[in-house]
Structure 1
């Protein structure tokens, strides 16, 4: 009989822990005004992405993160010599900007090169103008580019051992949503469509306004 009481007490305690844990998770989610907008989860949370930086904008001006992220921004790491992935992703991100503008929501696109040797300010200015008049292109020294890529956990590697002119660069293709204050709140894979991204970005902007 005593053993049975112990088992019943243990079961009740376990149920209490599960219910309590469920309430705790619900409270956590309820306390997060962005939970309804999130479509991805990463180890350490999205707040672990990002870093302070100083880079050179496509107009030749040196700018910090606070001067770049003045509005919700789609941040992408790529390079102008990229034959397929980068122009497709950048065009999609520009379409997101266009869709949201039609809905009355203003965002911007930020393109950070992973190939600073070839992507000069002049090259970036020409490239970004193909997609959006408001797109920001950023370049810098090898060390500066390495630092910002590390901050957003973006892997890249140039295959320039044999050819210093027509080489390709491996890189990740995530697009990050960064809001003023240099805070990263979401990322999108390249499989996401412009409409899907516009809906989720709009959700974040509305939740933060």
Structure 2
């Protein structure tokens, strides 16, 4: 817990200075595909056409069908991410605040790309640092891979010199309409003032 708080504190300082991206956080080579958001079958991601099953930070099974009927935001990350993930989660918390009462119409989820370490309990502890409306999803290695493929997200495990590892992954926030159609992708480098209007359009 202490280490995570230190990471979050460092991320805040980095963000204030327009930080340089660290290892294992964001794949710039995936930017175009993320912007187009092509799923596994080459068509724009649509929750109503996805088939995956994960477990949330409370131990409850969740599938894409559970999100239909309500606008949603989805972000892929991991709890030991040094910069992009905590910064994005803090941004999401700010967006929810900016939405006011409309935020209650949103489902917000981080799907881990590091299921080996990110158990439901670990996700629950980590997400306590952010807005309580943000849930976490994890599962088996195969289950997470299937979900990532459906969104068109890629990730890679990178060994570190100290014997540990980090994760290199596509970053961006997917915004879906209540119908399950993709409304937009908020890119990590996008000006944050555009985020809330995009989310409001998805809510409708």
Q: Give the TM-score normalised by the residue count of structure 2.
A: 0.72
Q: SS in structure 2 opposite 1:159? A: strand
Matched residues, number: 166
What whole-Å deviation, never above 9, does each CA across 1:115-166 have from its counterpart, x for those lacking one? 00000001100112211111110000011100111111111001148766x3
1:105, distance to aligned residue in structure 2 (A): 6.5
Q: Structure 1 residue runs of 4+, over 4 Å off?
A: 43-47, 102-105, 161-164
| Uncovered stretches (5+) of structure 1, i.e. residues with no partner | 1-39
Query: What RMSD over aligned residues (CA atoms) do the two structures have, in Å?
Result: 2.6
Return the index of the structure with the highest Cα Rg: 1
1:205, distance to aligned residue in structure 2 (A): 2.0
State whether structure 2 residue 56 is matched by structure 1 residue 62.
Answer: no
**Kept in 1: contact 2:71–2:202 (CA 8 A):** no
**Kept in 2: contact 1:47–1:183 (CA 8 A):** no
Alignment of 1:150-189 (within 5 A): 150-160=149-159, 166-189=164-187
**Kept in 1: contact 2:111–2:137 (CA 8 A):** yes
Q: SS in structure 2 opposite 1:100? A: helix
Match of 2:80 in 1: 81
Q: Give the TM-score normalised by the residue count of structure 1.
A: 0.70
2:194 and 2:188 map into 1 onto residues whose CA distance is: 11
| Uncovered stretches (5+) of structure 2, i.e. residues with no partner | 1-33
